[in-house]
Amino acid sequence: MAGSAILCESLLREGVTVMYGYPGGAIMPFYDALTSYPALHHILVRHEQAAAHAADGYARATGKVGVCVATSGPGATNLVTGLATAFMDSVPMVAITGQVARPFIGRDAFQETDVIGVTQPITKHNFLIRSTDEIADVVHEAFQVARSGRPGPVLIDIPKDVQLAKAFYCPPAIGESHQQTGDDAVPSPYLVARAAQLIAQARRPLIMTGHGVILSNAYEELRAFAEKTSIPVIATLLGLSAFPDTHPLHLGMPGMHGPAHVNRAIGDADLIIGVGLRFDDRVTGKVSEFAPHARLIHIDIDPSEMHKVKVATVPIVSDAKIALTALTEVVQPADHSVWLNEIRGWQQENERRQGSIKREQERPDPASILSAIRAATDGEAIIVSDVGQHQMWTARFYQWTRPNSHLTSGGLGTMGFALPAAIGASMGMPGAPVWVVAGDGGFQMNVQELATLQQEGLALKVAIMNNGYLGMVRQWQQFFHQRNYSETPITGPDYVKLAAAYGLTGMCITRGDEVEAAVKRAMETEGTVIIDFVIESEANVYPMVAPGSGITSMIEETAEEDA
């Protein structure tokens, strides 16, 4: 069997049904074999970066390993942003790249790039296949590595002559792995008991949930733990939708754009139970002022996250699901209503203050766009946001109830992520409505993927929050650079005509009172619909913590600001 066929067989064996890619010289043998494997559905993207993001979106939505394919040289280097995005957010992915034939490696051949070297710091692992009889084992190991422990992207580089050469196909035994995955690591009973002891002593405890809860599918376990102990729950950007926003214990998102009461609660807490999060700088602000009175119980599957930012009193290296189950068993039921009421008091006080600021605008309001989407989809939609102001509005104003319904590039902050990632998400979750929420800047970064949508006949709904600015950068310029709006005004195409050019439906909404009807109409329209919401050009994300400040000192919206 030729190497290219062994590769296809190996992918099938790992349960792959869909992959995203772009052909080219060094990967042509694989594409030649692909037509004999109709069970492998290949989506032709318009740029390899989108292939990586689509595989990423597929993986985030389904929990399965996403697969993308590119040729050597420029094809492979175009994957780099997507791999880095997946690496920062711990997304299981396998990227397959063609490589020039073995005799040409290291000799500056046409379309030769040292992809193993280039992707080394942004992949969990990468493999250069040296001979055809290695293919089956390497593919199996790559999938194992990608999905085990803390997931991440893995790259397989296959020289063209290795794809062409013949070898016997020996399928590796599934489940056979010499890697220590840590998936089944049982947390030490001593540490669990110690954690329970701290929880029993705490008067002002908080649970912080991150992406780890979603990755380990621990929604029910988190809920059971929070309900038994009555501890309020905070969700980081990537932890959103791990715990329902409608739950009485739910508080909100912490950090740079978190509501003031959440950050204030962190400032006053005496115990933080962090589950599957890494205390990113956007969450902590100035670390020395983050949770200054709190002890920390840190649950994470990655031992190198322990004590990295905050020293943990009790570090529990474990899968979130296993650790939460073990903890829930030993903790005593408690009542923290005094503490919760105190936080709710701050929340109401803030909301009263915000409510007193008069907003007189004709333009669509970001919050109302998001609540209209939620209303029109009964909260069942998967929302894929891009990066910028709209991302923070989406995180804050959408009411998350469906588990794992929020997909965004958190760690790397990759503009242009949303549209291709939504392609992957909608293929992974057929039947679920998928909404892209993007700014006019980020949307234009991978706008070419509208053609992929068209070719595949996919139905996405796209809400562009169009303010004619690279809004988040403009906001920083307003706050920290004396309104010196350097290179942030940005124009865009007529999105209605653009949609029509790709055979899709487009709408342009300029008035707030048209939002609800437009969203409803988009849901009723077959196929992909792009709505260009022309919002207030200098709307800001409030509150905001200046970078490097403590999270309890926030820039809040004032009446003068919008006057």
Burial 445-474 (b: 16+ CB within 10 A, else e): bbbbbbbbbbeeebbbbbbbbbbbbbbbbb
For other proteins, which is the closer residue by CB, 205 or 366?
A: 205
Q: Which amino acid belongs to residue 180?
A: Q
Distance CA(555)–CA(319), nearest Å, equals 37
For other proteins, which is the closer residue by CB, 179 or 510?
A: 179
For other proteins, which is the closer residue by CB, 41 or 102?
A: 102
Least distance (Å) between residue 71 CB and other proteins? 20
For other proteins, which is the closer residue by CB, 36 or 180?
A: 180
Catalytic residue among 48, 112, 134, 141: 48
Catalytic residue among 19, 30, 141, 160: 160
Least distance (Å) between residue 313 CB and other proteins? 5
For other proteins, which is the closer residue by CB, 248 or 292?
A: 292
Catalytic residue among 256, 472, 507, 544: 472
Chain-centre distance of CA 123, in angstroms? Answer: 16
Which residues are at the interface with other proteins (CB under 8 A)? Answer: 116-117, 120-121, 124-128, 130, 145, 179, 191, 194, 201-203, 270-271, 292-296, 302-304, 306-308, 311-315
The tokens for 297 are 């119980």
The tokens for 199 are 């929880």
Sign of CA dihedral 288, 290, 294, 295: negative
Please report the DSSP string for 226-265 in residue order.
Answer: HHHHT--EEE-GGGTTSS-TTSTTEEE--STTS-HHHHHH
Instruction: Let me know if 160 is a catalytic residue.
Output: yes
The tokens for 444 are 């234009």
For other proteins, which is the closer residue by CB, 45 or 202?
A: 202
For other proteins, which is the closer residue by CB, 302 or 456?
A: 302
Instruction: Let me know if 110 is a catalytic residue.
Output: yes
* Helices marked H in 14-134: 28-34, 48-62, 74-78, 80-88, 115-119
Q: Which helix (H) or strand (E) holds 453?
A: helix 450-456
Residue 366 contacts residue 393 (beta carbons within 8 Å): yes
Q: Which helix (H) or strand (E) holds 155?
A: strand 153-159
Instruction: Let me know if 289 is a catalytic residue.
Output: no
Q: Which long-range contacts (CB under 8 A, 24 or more apart) does 310-314 make?
A: 310/279, 310/284, 312/274, 313/198, 314/191, 314/194, 314/195, 314/198
Distance CA(219)–CA(233), nearest Å, equals 12
Catalytic residue among 111, 354, 454, 455: 111
* Degrees to nearest 5, angle at CA 382 with 378 and 385: 120
Instruction: Let me know if 472 is a catalytic residue.
Output: yes
Give the residue numbers marked as catalytic: 48, 110-111, 160, 472
